[in-house]
Amino acid sequence: MQERIVQVKNRFLQFQDWEDRYKELIKIGRDLHSYPEDKRDEKYKVKGCQSQVWLYPEFKDGRVYFSADSDAVLVKGIVGLLVSVYSDATPEEILATKPDFLKEVGITEHLSMNRSNGLAAMMKQMQMYAVVFKSMQKA
49, 75, 94, 119: which one is catalytic? 49
The total number of structural domains that make up the chain: 1
CATH number of the domain where residue 51 is located: 3.90.1010.10
Tens-digit pLDDT profile for residues 15-69: 988 899 999 999 999 999 999 999 999 999 999 888 999 999 999 999 999 999 9
The confidence score (pLDDT) of residue 128 equals: 97
Tens-digit pLDDT profile for residues 83-130: 999 999 999 999 999 999 999 988 888 888 888 999 999 999 999 999
Neighbours of 49 (CB within 10 A): 25
b/e map 26-42, b = 16+ CB within 10 Å: bebbeebeebeeebeee
* Extended strands (E) in the chain: 53-60, 63-70
pTM over 0.75: yes
Is 49 tagged catalytic? yes
Parent domain of 94:
2-138
The stretch 2-23 carries a mean pLDDT of: 93
